[in-house]
Amino acid sequence: MVKSVDSINIFMDSQAVGRMGLSPERLCIFEYAPEFLLNGFSISPFYLPLRAGIFTARREPFDGLFGIFNDSLPDGWGNLLLDRYLRSKGIQLQHLSVLDRLSIIGSSGMGALRYEPENRIVSTHSLDDIEEIAREVKRIISEIDYTETIDALVEKGGSSGGAGPKVLLHNDDGHWIVKFPSSYDSTDIGQIEYQYSLVAKKCGIEMPETKLFEEKYFGARRFDRVGEKRVLMHSASGLLYANHRLPSLDYVDLIKATLALTKNMEEAYKLFRQMVFNVLTGNKDDHAKNFSFLFKGGQWQLSPAYDLVPSSGFNGNHSTTVAGEGNPSRNHIFEVAKNGGLKTKLVHDIFEEVYGLCPEIRKVNF
């Protein structure tokens, strides 16, 4: 049974980061732990600078939660699983606060943060075979509200981001995210995404290791884990308080935010290269949660790219606009570079390189 919590303590590994509660207006209030103030760093530089005192979250866009902690919560698929499981246990979802949901995530979330007290759901069923997991996923997306193994699906996929079905798999080969077709995907979506990941690597885009499980389910090695060490991860959505469900960012914003966060021009060029790839290959589902940053070696850097697959986006437009345009031309691409302070020759070289290396999956020709 999920126990309601009044406050939660936040940790990275064994180090206390801070604590969080709720104001009378149901807004989250947070303060850094004294010891973290002495030797820690800002976990969300634009909204939670490292200083003493109480921070109060905005109401929108995260229902009164800070962006960095909203990154720990599941998205479409994970919420679907968790809510169905909780309803099956007679729990009224409207009574769950964001703190309650973070306590359910506990130590199972993406990134480095973990939450106590932990009310994590631990399965009584074993669900390790990929094909068996795929069958259970099909039952869920076929609108069967409950299966006996839903607790196992919650345990394996209930803390993952993204709208589509997936599980977090830990085996002898490390930590992986494995995806399964949704109700609106083609049956070969796994092979398609795998092909795109290989071409993206060829185009010079930093990618996690990818492979096909059972020759059809796309898998990517988790970049928020290095061995068994957890890595702090912050989505562009959580960093900038940008609603990923609606168009809320432009690539100019992303490049400027990347420069401000990382203090490294190379990271901005990496993002520009990924934008070019997204435009040329018709990946229009390039919303604010499909870009992330990692804190490694004492500094922020752009994460490896992910979710690179053709998609329709928001009403047929890129979810992140390109110099204000949802269906951009070549000129819009270079306008982003100009407004982001990138060098003209270098961005033209990047464009020509990516354009020439992705003809087999290119959807847009300029």
Q: Is the predicted pLDDT of residue 4 greater than 90, yes or no? A: no
pLDDT at 3 over 80: no
Looking at the chain, the whole-number percentage of residues with pLDDT higher than 90 is 71
Q: Which of 167, 213, 168, 208 is nearest to 191 (CA)?
A: 213
Separation of alpha carbons 310 and 251, rounded Å:
18
214: pLDDT strictly greater than 90: yes
Give percent above pLDDT 70 in the chain: 95
Residues 214-237, mean pLDDT to the nearest whole number: 96
**Across residues 326-342, what is the average pLDDT?**
97
DSSP annotation string for 207-257? ---EEEETTTEEEEE-TTEETTEE-EEEEHHHHHT--TTS--EEHHHHHHH
Which structural domains are found in the chain, ordered by start?
7-116 (no CATH), 130-225 (3.30.200.120), 229-357 (no CATH)
Residue predicted with more confidence, 128 or 309: 309
**Interatomic CA distance for residues 164 and 147, integer angstroms:** 19
Least trusted range by pLDDT, from 165-179, 194-208, 280-294, 348-362: 165-179
Average pLDDT over residues 214-222: 96
The pLDDT of 143-161, averaged and rounded, is 68
pLDDT for 265 = 98
Mean pLDDT of the chain, nearest integer: 92
- For the stretch 34-50, pLDDT in tens is 999 999 999 999 999 99
Mind listing the pLDDT tens digit for each residue in 263-297? Answer: 999 999 999 999 999 999 999 999 999 999 999 99
pLDDT over 60 at 146, yes or no: no
Show Cβ contacts of residue 174 under 8 Å, excluding neighbours closer than 6 positions.
221, 222, 225, 227
pLDDT at 148: 66
Q: What is the pLDDT of residue 147?
A: 62
Is residue 21 scored above 70 in pLDDT?
A: yes
